[in-house]
């Protein structure tokens, strides 16, 4: 059992949408993850847990939701209720797990699913997700950015708009205010230069910041147009946060790592964590 504080967050996965190993990939990281299951990692998702009310909420529902849900239930023990989910945006790794709530699988009843207006409208307009609504498996709830929404006692969430590709919906980060600490979950965004206010000012307002670390550097995907995948690199994140305020990087947890990311190498991870930032992995937890 891992729960000791009354309110806390735990990482359920820290990889990019395809996970590690990624289907069909034979890169060194994916080959090693197939040989050593301890290296494998599910797509990004975080659980928020309230021990007082014995409830938990999920930030994003990944394609690996069934495995992540079972792992979390095993850690919590009996008597904890799945009380809702927040979706950051409509890219595969962040909402595909919704299908596991349908009648062909878990067949949930009226699970609240929060998201932006565009995110909820996308679900309502597109099968098979619209069926989850019509059959009452989920109860979609629109959250206006910047408007706090209560969860458990002493906890609330709010959405923070962030720049990112908008093929199907806009993209939100989630700010979680706990009884004692404040957490930012931002698994996907375009580069930090597009943030207003600057990312260093946003991180300064929270105690823990889970930030998009999809790629390590600009040389990671040769032959690909970076305008199609304009995530900030790990190197850019360290540069953006390191020089401005002592200790700011200590708040950072790097998440949403692509299978190609050099951070899967233990030596690179150790070197980056010497800066104060940490690399997220399943089971990492933070008191709220």
Question: What are the pLDDT digits (tens) for 89-136?
Answer: 999 999 999 999 999 999 999 999 999 999 999 999 999 999 999 999
pLDDT value of position 128 = 97
Strands (E), 34-137: 45-50, 55-59, 81-86, 111-115
What number is the average pLDDT over the span 67-95? 95
- Domain presence at residue 91: yes
Q: Residue 219's CB: how many other CB atoms inside 10 A? A: 9
**Is the pLDDT confidence value at 154 over 80?**
yes
pLDDT value of position 3 = 44
**Is the pLDDT confidence value at 228 over 70?**
no
Q: How confident is the model at residue 166 (pLDDT cuts 50, 70, 90)?
A: confident
Q: Give the CA radius of gyration of the chain.
A: 18
* Count of domains observed in the chain: 1
Please list, in sequence order, all residues whose beta carbon lies within 8 angstroms of the beta carbon of residue 264, skipping any fewer than 6 positions away: 20, 29, 32, 33, 39, 257
| Mean pLDDT taken over the chain | 92
- Domain presence at residue 110: yes
Identify which has the larger pLDDT, 167 or 227.
167
Residue 218 burial (CB < 10 Å; 0-12/13-18/19+)? exposed
- Domain presence at residue 2: no
- The CATH number of residue 177's host domain is 3.60.15.10
What number is the average pLDDT over the span 134-140? 98
Please list, in sequence order, all residues whose beta carbon lies within 8 angstroms of the beta carbon of residue 179, skipping any fewer than 6 positions away: 6, 7, 153, 154, 155, 288
As a residue count, the chain comes to 288
pLDDT value of position 2 = 44
The span from the CA of 191 to the CA of 237, in Å, is 9
- Domain presence at residue 233: yes
pLDDT value of position 68 = 98
pLDDT digits (tens, 9 = 90+) for 187-216: 999 889 889 999 999 999 999 999 999 999
Strands 252-255 and 208-212: parallel
Closest listed residue to residue 165, CA positions, set 105, 118, 104 = 118
Please list, in sequence order, all residues whose beta carbon lies within 8 angstroms of the beta carbon of residue 138, skipping any fewer than 6 positions away: 98, 101, 108, 110, 111, 112, 113, 132
Specify the 3-state DSSP secondary structure of 214. coil
Closest listed residue to residue 176, CA positions, set 7, 51, 5 = 7
Q: Give residue 107's region: left, alpha or beta (phi > 0; psi -120 to 50).
A: left
- Domain presence at residue 76: yes
pLDDT value of position 281 = 97
Please list, in sequence order, all residues whose beta carbon lies within 8 angstroms of the beta carbon of residue 285, skipping any fewer than 6 positions away: 2, 8, 9, 10, 11
CB 203 within 8 A of CB 251: yes
The span from the CA of 176 to the CA of 206, in Å, is 9
Token pair of 187 as six digits = 């698994």
Identify which has the larger pLDDT, 84 or 247.
84
Domain around 72: 7-287
Identify which has the larger pLDDT, 76 or 220.
76
- Domain presence at residue 20: yes
pLDDT value of position 242 = 82
- Domain presence at residue 1: no
The span from the CA of 179 to the CA of 229, in Å, is 36
pTM over 0.85, yes/no: yes
Q: Residue 188's CB: how many other CB atoms inside 10 A? A: 24
CB 201 within 8 A of CB 115: no
């Amino acid at each position: 059992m891992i729960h000791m504080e009354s309110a806390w967050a735990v990482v359920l996965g820290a990889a990019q949408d395809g996970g590690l190993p990624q289907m069909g990939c034979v890169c060194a990281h994916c080959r090693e993850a197939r040989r050593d299951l301890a290296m494998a990692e599910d797509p990004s998702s975080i659980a928020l847990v309230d021990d007082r009310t014995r409830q938990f909420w999920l930030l994003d529902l990944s394609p690996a939701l069934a495995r992540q849900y079972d792992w979390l239930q095993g850690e919590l023990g009996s008597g904890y209720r799945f009380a809702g989910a927040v979706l950051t945006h409509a890219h595969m790794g962040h909402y595909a797990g919704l299908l596991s709530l349908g009648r062909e699988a878990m067949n949930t009843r009226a699970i609240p699913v929060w998201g932006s207006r565009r995110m909820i409208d996308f679900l309502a307009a597109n099968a098979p997700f619209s069926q989850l609504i019509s059959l009452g498996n989920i109860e979609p709830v629109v959250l206006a950015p910047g408007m706090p929404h209560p969860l458990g006692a002493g906890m609330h969430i709010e959405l923070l708009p962030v720049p990112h590709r908008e093929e199907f919906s806009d993209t939100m980060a989630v700010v979680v205010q706990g009884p004692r600490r404040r957490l930012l979950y931002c698994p996907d965004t375009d580069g930090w230069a597009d943030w207003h206010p600057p990312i260093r000012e946003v991180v300064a307002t929270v105690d823990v910041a889970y930030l998009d670390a999809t790629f390590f550097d600009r040389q990671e995907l040769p032959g690909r147009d970076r305008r199609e995948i304009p995530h900030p690199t790990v190197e850019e994140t360290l540069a953006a946060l390191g020089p401005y305020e002592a200790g700011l990087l200590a708040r950072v947890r790097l998440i949403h790592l692509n299978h190609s990311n050099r951070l899967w190498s233990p030596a690179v991870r150790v070197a980056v964590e010497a800066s104060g930032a940490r690399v997220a992995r399943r089971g990492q937890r933070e008191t709220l």
